[in-house]
Amino acid sequence: MLEVGSRRRNQPAPPHVLFEALTAPDRDPARPWLRLLDDERCPRVIEAVAPDLVVWSSLWNRRPEAQIRFELPGDRSGYGTDLRWVLLVDEPQPDASLLGHLRRRINELINADLRYSLGQ
């Protein structure tokens, strides 16, 4: 698979909290964060190694082979997580417009919606 996007950003929540949120995104109905668009579908957890790694199946019907890998190392403070997401796809690589959309959606879901649902 090709790595076609990634981003690392600190999250104030510790790795075990993010691991739980990523492996069961609908676990807390009072704090929903995985709000999908019409062209998206709920991902399946393909791989999970607590509390360091989660791999999702594709969110997109247009790229059903895509995977999103979440690396969850603790940060230097010992309280947060230096979360890194990596978007992986099979050949052919998406065109620039679609690739921008896929990257933006992951970033919105993880670095905005998930983050805000945890009160940060």
> Mean pLDDT in the chain?
95
Distance CA 35, CA 13 (A): 20
How would residue 33 be classed by pLDDT, with cut points 50, 70 and 90? very high
Q: Which percentage of the chain shows pLDDT scores above 70?
A: 99
Q: What is the pLDDT of residue 28?
A: 84
The predicted-structure confidence for 59-115, as pLDDT tens digits, reads as follows 999 999 999 999 999 999 889 999 999 999 999 999 999 999 999 999 999 999 999
DSSP state of 49: E
Q: What is the pLDDT of residue 118?
A: 87
Q: What is the pLDDT of residue 17?
A: 95
Long-range contacts made by residues 66-75, C-beta under 8 angstroms, separation at least 24?
A: 66/102, 67/1, 68/43, 68/106, 70/18, 70/22, 70/110, 72/15, 72/18, 72/19, 73/15, 74/14, 74/15, 75/10
Judged against a pLDDT cut of 80, whether residue 6 lies above it is answered with yes
How would residue 43 be classed by pLDDT, with cut points 50, 70 and 90? very high
Judged against a pLDDT cut of 70, whether residue 55 lies above it is answered with yes
What does the radius of gyration of the chain's CA atoms come to, in whole angstroms?
14
Q: What is the pLDDT of residue 120?
A: 67
Distance CA 4, CA 82 (A): 20
